[in-house]
Amino acid sequence: MHDDLSPLCTRFLTAADLLGRRWTGVILRILMDGPCRFGELTERIGTISERVLSERLKGLEAEGILERHVDPGPPIRSEYRLTEKGQAFWKVIDELGKWAERWVDVKAPAQAQKGAKATRAVAPRKRKSA
């Protein structure tokens, strides 16, 4: 039985699940540079939909990782900033960034996974494909 994973795992799974939601890492990464407004986040990320950004921000706020701060202008603006819990995440993001710098080839568009369904380049299964 391999439940040696269990004790730390509940926490780890939670964290992995957090980062396992699309865009979470990117949002956190941007917020590491300082507070950011909704529109600014949309703009900087570029390809995220506002629907999902809104959802992610609410989720992260609920997790206590960031907080929404409303500046009643008059030009009313809301700002998202990391809490202490969120700030503590910088090491993870930092290591991820370092890994990416060293190992990610810019030419490979990360779409490899999608193609993978059809393209098994290495060690084809012994089973006959017909």
Partner DNA sequence: GCACTCACTTACTTTTTGGAAGTAGCTTGC
Partner DNA sequence: GCAAGCTACTTCCAAAAAGTAAGTGAGTGC
Chain positions contacting a second copy, by CB under 8 A: 2, 5, 8, 10-26, 29-30, 40, 43-44, 55, 58-63, 67-70, 76, 85, 88-89, 91-92, 94-104, 106, 108-110, 112-113, 115-117, 119-123, 126
Which residue, 28, 67, 63, is CA-closest to 48? Answer: 28
Does residue 95 bind DNA (CB under 7 A)?
A: no
In this chain, which of 1, 76, 108, 110 binds DNA, going by CB under 7 A?
Answer: 76
Contact predicate 37/79, CB 8 Å: yes
36-37, strands of its sheet edge to edge: 36-37, 77-82, 66-71
In this chain, which of 2, 91, 102, 126 binds DNA, going by CB under 7 A?
Answer: 126
Q: Which does 32 bind (CB under 5 to 8 A by kind): DNA, a second copy, none?
A: none
**Nearest approach, Cβ of 28 to a second copy (angstroms)?**
9
**Nearest approach, Cβ of 35 to a second copy (angstroms)?**
13
Residue with tokens 């939909």: 49
Does residue 37 bind DNA (CB under 7 A)?
A: yes
Q: Which residues contact 45 (CB under 8 A, 6 or more apart)?
A: 23, 26, 27, 30, 53
Distance from C-alpha of 37 to C-alpha of 78, rounded to nearest angstrom:
6
